[in-house]
Chain A
Amino acid sequence: MEVFVGVLTIFVLAIFVGFEVITKVPPTLHTPLMSGSNAISGITLIGALISAGSQQTTLTTILGFCAVVFAAINVVGGFLVTNRMLQMFRKKD
């Protein structure tokens, strides 16, 4: 229960931080914000790495492997495509 209250506190505070940080995004950046934040949500990769590497059972290892693949697509693809888009938004001289 104490662990739960601890993580719940972090969850609620992080939601508030999220709202504060992202208010008033200029519409120009809505797409890069979405794809960039999407890459960050690929953080599940951390959990996937442990599932794939801890070798509890064959099934969990396979699940972990698939999860690593999915999350890595999300993370690598997300950050790269966001960077590609943002390069286009740079002011032209």
Chain B
Amino acid sequence: MQVAIINITYLLASVLFIFGLKGLAHPRTAVRGNLLGALGMLLAIIVTLIDRRIISFDMIIAGLVVGAAIGAVLAVRIQMTAMPQLVALFNGFGGGASVLVAGAALIEAGLLGDVDNLQLTIATVTSGIIGAVTFWGSLVAFGKLQEVISGNAIHFPGQHVLNAVLGAIAVALGVWIVLNPTFVTAYWVLVGVGSILGILLTIPIGGADMPVVIALLNSYSGLAAASTGFVLSNNVLIIAGSLVGASGLILTSIMCKAMNRSLSNVLFGTLGPTEATATADEVYAGKVKSASPEEVAMLFDTARRAVIVPGYGMAVAQAQHAVRDLANLLESRECEVEYAIHPVAGRMPGHMNVLLAEANVEYDKLKEMDDINPTMAQVDVAMVIGANDVVNPVARTDPSSPIAGMPIIDVDKARTVVVVKRSLSPGFAGIPNPLFAADNTLMMFGDGKKAVLELIAALKES
């Protein structure tokens, strides 16, 4: 009877998770969706506590208090610009928990003589590998985003061979553990190998590819939970884990499509200038026009429709509030302002949207690339702030370019383009951007926030 109550409550929790995720997919229902998910989790936790196997609550209460306190402080204190690294960190903790639970289950199975259970042993091995890769991969992603370690792609010779060898060792160890499940030390060696693999697989991914890796780690954390569900034969773990695994995979695929690259190219390939790429001198020499805030203000004075294209540089400069003030000022002068958001702008899926929402920009002003591009020719001023590769027209024109075929925001089709940028340095793809040298482009060099504030001041004076 008790088992039945527990399992029915788990079923209820699973249904709440499904409704919760469904709600998260629409702006109007998202807050309620998140609450439904949290309610499902609360029910699952409470009903687990009546499980007969639990004989002491000391460790449970201590662990819950410590974990909840750390999680709550992080969630409340974090700045919106630091959201990508926080999401990465939370992902990692989920993966780490799966490793530990599977390890404990393997030890218990050894004590209870349940080690001939193939489902348990195979799932334990899978949890160990996926969980370790998630944990360390997420920590590396966190380190890169927090700039504790270099945010660039790090490559070294023999990288792929080393990864392949480690992968083979992990599989061999896994098989050995399934055959000799009582030797638990082997499991921790496997976790060690998985940890190194997690680090090595994430180290070579950097900069503009981070959204893909964050989405992928999100998927892994779900799959690790599902795998732990197989270890424990626990339905709610399997259902919740596979829902999250599927959701992460969908995001990963959206991110890859937005860069016109395959997942394996993002994970294992290198992105950079090719022989055929024009040098910066060829593209820029004598053609780049620099403009003062006053000149740009005069442009905006007569503009009826403006589009702002934010990129990671806006997040770095913390310029989102200044940008919002600029948009409000323009709107008060009868100029329609919209924001064009490229799917991979920033360092995680939806990064720009979160920052602009923090600055109180209404979400219906945030336009998707495919919606805004057809109307770009009717835009008086397109202002690019801290974005580069996602507005580089060579993606359309030069099939030999490393970003060839990547969908971009067609700002070059607007009547005038203003680019706010520190220098002419290339973006993540490492190639020059002919947009900066185009006849209808004005460069406004400087820190994003400072430049926008100067522009606002100039607009108010005119």
B-contacting residues of A (Cβ < 8 Å)? 3-4, 7, 10-11, 14-19, 21-57, 59-61, 63-92
Bound CA–CA A66/B191 (angstroms) = 16
Chain A residue numbers with a CB within 8 Å of B173 are: none
In the complex, B148 has a CB within 8 A of chain A: no
Distance in angstroms from A39 CB to nearest chain B CB is 7
Bound CA–CA A51/B67 (angstroms) = 16
Q: Which of B25, B53, B93, B103 contacts A33 (CB 8 A)?
A: B25
A38 touches B94 (CB 8 A): yes
A81: nearest residue on chain B (CB-CB)? B75
Q: C-beta contact mask, B238-261 vs A, less than 8 Å → 1, else 0?
A: 111111111111110010000000
A41 touches B354 (CB 8 A): no
Beyond A18-B247, A32-B24, A50-B54, whether A63 also contacts B100 by CB under 8 A is yes
Chain B residue numbers with a CB within 8 Å of A44 are: 94, 97-98, 101, 224-225, 228, 237
What 5 pairs between A and B have smallest CB-CB spacing? A72-B67, A18-B246, A68-B63, A77-B71, A30-B350
In the complex, B321 has a CB within 8 A of chain A: no
A25 touches B93 (CB 8 A): no
Beyond A27-B343, A28-B353, whether A42 also contacts B97 by CB under 8 A is yes
A73 touches B343 (CB 8 A): no
A40 touches B49 (CB 8 A): no
B107 touches A28 (CB 8 A): no
Beyond A43-B236, A70-B96, whether A32 also contacts B30 by CB under 8 A is yes
Count of chain A to chain B residue pairs whose CB atoms are closer than 8 Å in the complex: 380
Chain A residue numbers with a CB within 8 Å of B21 are: 18, 21-22, 33, 36-37, 40
A55 touches B56 (CB 8 A): yes
A31 touches B243 (CB 8 A): no
What are 12 sample pairs from A and B whose C-beta atoms fall under 8 A apart?
A14-B238, A15-B246, A33-B247, A40-B17, A41-B222, A46-B234, A52-B59, A63-B103, A81-B78, A82-B34, A87-B31, A89-B357
A-contacting residues of B (Cβ < 8 Å)? 14, 17-18, 20-22, 24-27, 30-31, 33-35, 37-38, 40-41, 44-45, 48-49, 51, 53-57, 59-60, 62-64, 66-68, 70-72, 74-76, 78, 80, 83, 86-87, 90-91, 93-94, 96-98, 100-101, 103-105, 107-108, 111, 118-119, 214-215, 218, 221-222, 224-226, 228-251, 254, 341, 343, 348-351, 353-354, 357-358, 360, 362-363, 366, 368
Beyond A31-B354, A47-B101, whether A72 also contacts B24 by CB under 8 A is no
A67 touches B97 (CB 8 A): yes
B97 touches A59 (CB 8 A): no
Bound CA–CA A87/B75 (angstroms) = 13
B246 touches A19 (CB 8 A): yes
B348 touches A31 (CB 8 A): yes
Q: Which of A34, A43, A50 contacts B349 (CB 8 A)?
A: A34
Bound CA–CA A57/B56 (angstroms) = 12
Beyond A7-B230, A27-B341, A74-B97, whether A64 also contacts B248 by CB under 8 A is no
Chain B residue numbers with a CB within 8 Å of A65 are: 59, 62-63
A78 touches B244 (CB 8 A): no
A37 touches B101 (CB 8 A): no
A64 touches B54 (CB 8 A): no
A89 touches B30 (CB 8 A): yes
A18 touches B244 (CB 8 A): yes
Bound CA–CA A79/B359 (angstroms) = 21
Chain B residue numbers with a CB within 8 Å of A77 are: 70-72, 74-75, 86, 90
Distance in angstroms from B326 CB to nearest chain A CB is 18
B75 touches A76 (CB 8 A): yes
